[in-house]
Chain A
Amino acid sequence: MKVTGASIIIKKLLEEGVEYIFGYPGGSVIPLFDELYNFTDRIKLIQPRHEQGGTHAADGYARSTGKTGVVVVTSGPGATNTVTGIATAYMDSVPLVIITGQVPVSMMGSDAFQEVDTTAITLPITKANFLIKDIKELTPALDLAFHIAKSGRPGPVLIDIPSDIQKALIDERKIVKGDIKNYSPRHDIDDEKINKVYNMLSESKKPLIISGGGIIISEATEILKRFMEKNNIPVITTLMGKGIYPSREELYFDGLGMHGTYYGNYAVQNSDLILALGVRFSDRILGNVEKFAPFAKIVHVDIDRSEIEKNVQPIIGIEGDVKEVLEKFLSFPELKTDFSDWIKELNQQKKEFPLSYEKGKKLKPQYLIELANKYFPEDTIVVSDVGQNQMWTAQFYKFTKPRTFLTTGGLGTMGFGLPASMGAKVGNPDKQVLVISGDGGFQMNIQELITIKRYALNVKILIVDNAYLGMVKQWQELFYNKRYSATPFTDNPDFRAIAEVIGIKSKTLKDWDKAEEIIKELALSKEPMLIHALIDPDENVFPMVPAGASLNEILLNKEG
Chain B
Amino acid sequence: MNKTKRIVNVLVHDRPNVLVKLISFFEKRGFRVENINLIKTDKPGISKYNMIISGEDNNIGKSSKQLYKFVETIDVNLL
Residues on B with beta carbons closer than 8 Å to the beta carbon of A183? 13, 71
Q: Does B65 contact A (CB under 8 A)?
A: yes
Residues on B with beta carbons closer than 8 Å to the beta carbon of A120? 17, 20
- Contacts A123-B20, A124-B24, A183-B13; is A306 near B71 (CB within 8 Å)? no
Interface members, chain A 117-146 (any B CB < 8 Å): 119-120, 123-124, 127-129, 131
Q: Does A182 contact B (CB under 8 A)?
A: yes
The CA-CA distance from A120 to B19 in the complex, in Å, is: 12
A310 with B20: CB separation less than 8 A: no
A306 with B17: CB separation less than 8 A: no
Q: Within the complex, what minimum Cβ distance (angstroms) separates A245 from chain B?
A: 31
Closest residue on chain A to residue B13 by CB atoms: A182
B21 with A123: CB separation less than 8 A: yes
A306 with B66: CB separation less than 8 A: yes
Q: Within the complex, what minimum Cβ distance (angstroms) separates A127 from chain B?
A: 6
- Of the residues A123, A124, A128, A306, contact of B68 by C-beta under 8 Å: A306
Q: Does B15 contact A (CB under 8 A)?
A: yes
B66 with A310: CB separation less than 8 A: yes
Q: Within the complex, what minimum Cβ distance (angstroms) separates A429 from chain B?
A: 34
Interface members, chain B 1-48 (any A CB < 8 Å): 13, 15-17, 20-21, 24, 45
Interface string of A298-336 (1 = CB under 8 A from B): 000000111011100000000000000000000000000
Interface string of A269-285 (1 = CB under 8 A from B): 00000000000000000
- Of the residues B16, B20, B65, contact of A305 by C-beta under 8 Å: B65
The CA-CA distance from A527 to B45 in the complex, in Å, is: 54
Closest residue on chain A to residue B69 by CB atoms: A306
- Of the residues A119, A127, A305, A309, contact of B62 by C-beta under 8 Å: A309
- Contacts A119-B17, A123-B17, A182-B45; is A148 near B71 (CB within 8 Å)? yes
Band of interface residues on B? 10 to 19
Residues on A with beta carbons closer than 8 Å to the beta carbon of B67? 306
Interface members, chain B 39-61 (any A CB < 8 Å): 45
B16 with A131: CB separation less than 8 A: yes
Closest residue on chain B to residue A124 by CB atoms: B24
The CA-CA distance from A148 to B71 in the complex, in Å, is: 8
Residues on A with beta carbons closer than 8 Å to the beta carbon of B69? 304, 306
The CA-CA distance from A123 to B66 in the complex, in Å, is: 16
The CA-CA distance from A304 to B68 in the complex, in Å, is: 8
B65 with A309: CB separation less than 8 A: yes
A128 with B15: CB separation less than 8 A: yes
Closest residue on chain B to residue A317 by CB atoms: B65
Closest residue on chain B to residue A119 by CB atoms: B17
Residues on A with beta carbons closer than 8 Å to the beta carbon of B72? 128
Residues on B with beta carbons closer than 8 Å to the beta carbon of A309? 62, 65
The CA-CA distance from A85 to B67 in the complex, in Å, is: 24
- Contacts A123-B20, A127-B71, A183-B71; is A306 near B65 (CB within 8 Å)? yes
Tell me which of B20, B66, B68, B71 has the highest count of chain A C-beta atoms within 10 A of its own C-beta. B71
Residues on B with beta carbons closer than 8 Å to the beta carbon of A152? 71
- Contacts A123-B17, A123-B21, A183-B13; is A128 near B71 (CB within 8 Å)? yes
Residues on B with beta carbons closer than 8 Å to the beta carbon of A128? 15, 71-72
Interface string of A82-125 (1 = CB under 8 A from B): 00000000000000000000000000000000000001100110
The CA-CA distance from A309 to B76 in the complex, in Å, is: 15
Residues on A with beta carbons closer than 8 Å to the beta carbon of B21? 123-124
B68 with A305: CB separation less than 8 A: yes
Please give 12 more A-B residue pairs, beta carbons under 8 A apart, in addition to A123-B20, A131-B16: A119-B17, A124-B21, A127-B71, A128-B15, A128-B71, A128-B72, A129-B17, A183-B13, A306-B65, A309-B62, A309-B65, A310-B65
What would be 28 A-B contacts, judged by CB atoms less than 8 Å apart?
Answer: A119-B17, A120-B17, A120-B20, A123-B17, A123-B20, A123-B21, A124-B21, A127-B71, A128-B71, A128-B72, A129-B17, A131-B16, A148-B71, A182-B13, A182-B45, A183-B13, A183-B71, A304-B68, A305-B65, A305-B68, A306-B66, A306-B67, A306-B68, A306-B69, A308-B65, A309-B62, A309-B65, A310-B66
B residues sitting closer than 8 Å to A (CB atoms) are 13, 15-17, 20-21, 24, 45, 62, 65-69, 71-72
Which 7 residue pairs spanning A and B have beta carbons closest together? A306-B69, A306-B66, A305-B68, A306-B68, A128-B71, A182-B13, A127-B71
